[in-house]
Amino acid sequence: GYGRSRFNNAVHTYLQLSRPVMHIDHKAGDKMYIDFTGSKLQLTPSEDAVHDVEVFVAILGCSQLTYVEAVESQRKEDLIKACENALHYFGGVPGAIVPDNLRSAVTRGSKYEAILNDEFASFAEHYSVTVVPARVYKPRDKSLVEGAVKLIYRSIYTRLEGRKFGDLESLNSAIRPALEIHNNKPFSGRTYSRREQFEEVERDALGQLNPLRYEVNKQVMVTVMKNGYVRLGEDIHYYSVPYNYIGKKVKVLYTSISVKIYYQYTLIASHRRTRIKYRYTTDENHLASQHRYLTEWSPEKFIQQAEAIHDDVARYITKVLEHKVYPEQAYKSCSGILSFARRVGPGRLADACRWADNLGQYNYPVIEEILKKRLDQLQHEDEPVSIPAHNNIRGKEYYQ
In which band, very low, low, confident or very high, does the pLDDT at 54 lie, cut at 50, 70 and 90?
very high
> Each residue of 270-288: pLDDT tens digit?
999 998 888 889 887 877 6
Task: Specify the pLDDT at position 388.
Answer: 55
Q: Is 238's pLDDT higher than 80?
A: yes
Beta-strand ranges (E) seen in the chain are 31-36, 41-46, 49-60, 66-71, 96-98, 106-108, 115-116, 130-131, 218-223, 229-232, 237-240, 249-254, 258-263, 266-272, 280-281
Q: Which residues of 15-48 are buried (b: 16+ CB within 10 A; e: fewer)?
A: eeeeeeeeeeeeebbbbbbbbbbeeebebeeeee
The two most distant CA atoms of the chain are separated, in Å, by 152
Q: Which residue has the higher pLDDT, 24 or 356?
A: 356
Q: Are 115 and 107 in contact (CB under 8 A)?
A: yes
User: What mean pLDDT comes out for the span 258-265?
Assistant: 91
pLDDT grade, residue 328 (50/70/90)? low
DSSP 55-78: EEEEEETTT--EEEEEES-SSHHH
Q: What is the pLDDT of residue 243?
A: 84
Listed in sequence order, the residues at least 6 apart from 334 whose beta carbon sits closer than 8 Å to its beta carbon are: 302, 306, 317, 320, 321
- What percentage of the chain carries pLDDT values higher than 70? 84
Query: Among residues 219, 239, 243, which one has the least CA distance to residue 231?
Result: 239
* Residue 313: half-sphere exposure toward Cβ, Cα within 13 Å: 27
Q: How far apart are CA 202 and CA 155, in angstroms?
A: 23
Instruction: Assign 3-state DSSP to the chain and report helix, strand, coil percentages, each to 5.
Output: 45, 20, 35
For 135-154, what is each residue's pLDDT tens digit?
554 555 456 778 888 889 99
User: Distance between CA atoms of 38 and 164, rounded to whole angstroms?
Assistant: 20
Q: Measure the CA–CA gap between 129 and 96, rounded to whole angstroms.
A: 6
Q: What is the pLDDT of residues 288-326, one digit of tens each?
A: 654 444 455 677 888 888 899 999 899 998 888 887 765
**CA–CA distance, 282 with 228 (Å, rounded to integer):** 10
**Is the pLDDT confidence value at 330 over 90?**
no
Predicted local confidence at residue 108, as pLDDT: 73
Which pLDDT score is estimated for 146? 80
User: By the 8 A CB rule, do 257 and 273 touch?
Assistant: yes
Residues 6+ apart with CB under 8 A from 67: 56, 57, 58, 59, 85, 86, 89, 90, 179
From CA 43, how far away is CA 166, in angstroms rounded? 6
Q: Are 346 and 310 in contact (CB under 8 A)?
A: yes
Give the residue, 137 or 364, on which the prediction is more confident.
364
Inter-residue long-range contacts of 18-25, CB under 8 Å, 24+ positions, other chains counted: 21/140
Other CB atoms within 10 A of residue 11 CB: 10
Mean of all residue pLDDT scores within the chain: 83
Q: Which of 291, 315, 177, 164 is nearest to 229 (CA)?
A: 291
Residue 78 CB-density burial (10 A; 0-12 exposed, 13-18 middle, 19+ buried)? buried
Residue 50's closest CA among 153, 157, 156, 165? 165
Q: Pick 399 or 40 by higher pLDDT.
A: 40
Contact, 72 vs 275, CB < 8 A?
yes
Partners of 230 in beta bridges: 239
Identify the pLDDT of residue 183. 93
Residue 86 binned pLDDT confidence (cut-offs 50, 70, 90): very high
What's the mean pLDDT in 193-206? 92
pLDDT interval class at 252 (50, 70, 90): very high
pLDDT at 294 (0 to 100): 47
Q: What does DSSP say about strands 49-60 and 41-46: parallel, antiparallel, or unpaired?
A: antiparallel
Q: What's the confidence (pLDDT) of residue 204?
A: 92
Candidate from 94-108, 184-198, 323-337, 380-394 with smallest mean pLDDT: 380-394
DSSP 3-state of 195: helix
Examine the pLDDT at 385 and tell me if it is beyond 60.
no
Average pLDDT over residues 60-65: 90
Note the pLDDT of residue 200.
92
